[in-house]
Amino acid sequence: MRRLAQISLGWLLFGCASMAQPETPALVMEATPQSREELRQVVSAALGRADVALADAALTASSVLLIEPKPARDSAGGRLSGREFDKPETFRLLTDGERCILIHQRTGERYRLSHARCIAAE
C-alpha cells in the first residue's frame, strides 16, 4: 500500500511539473511608476551601480534590455575620450504565463518582477 502511495505521488508531481508553461520572451504590458522603479532597482542591484537610468518604455517593445557601461570621466566630470572596452550588460525578460522573470545574461541570475505585468512577445 505504501509503495502504491509513493507511485501515485510521483505521477502527481510529474503531472504538475509537465503542466508548467515554458518560459518565453516577454514584454511589459503597461509600465507603471511602481514597475519602472522595481525594474530600475533590480538592474541597479544586479550591476552593483546606484546610478542606472532606464527609459520609461524599457522592455515594452523588446524583451531585451541593454545597459551601456558607465563612461570614464575626468576629475571635473567631463567624459574622457577614448575607446570603451566594457561591453553592455544584457538582460532578458521572460514569462511563464504568470510571472515576469528578468535574467541577467552574463551571470544567469534570475529576478522575479512582482510589480510588472508581462505578456509573451510575438
d(CA 94, CA 17): 18
pLDDT number for residue 4: 47
pLDDT number for residue 21: 73
Query: What's the pTM value of the predicted model, to 2 decimals?
Result: 0.74
C-alpha pair distances (Å), 88 with each of 34, 64, 103, 106: 25, 12, 14, 10
C-beta separation of 26 from 95 below 8 A = yes
pLDDT number for residue 121: 92
Of 112, 121, 114, 94, nearest to 32 (Cα)?
A: 114
pLDDT number for residue 2: 56
C-alpha pair distances (Å), 20 with each of 40, 68, 113: 29, 34, 18
Low-confidence stretches of the chain (pLDDT < 50) are 4, 9, 11, 18
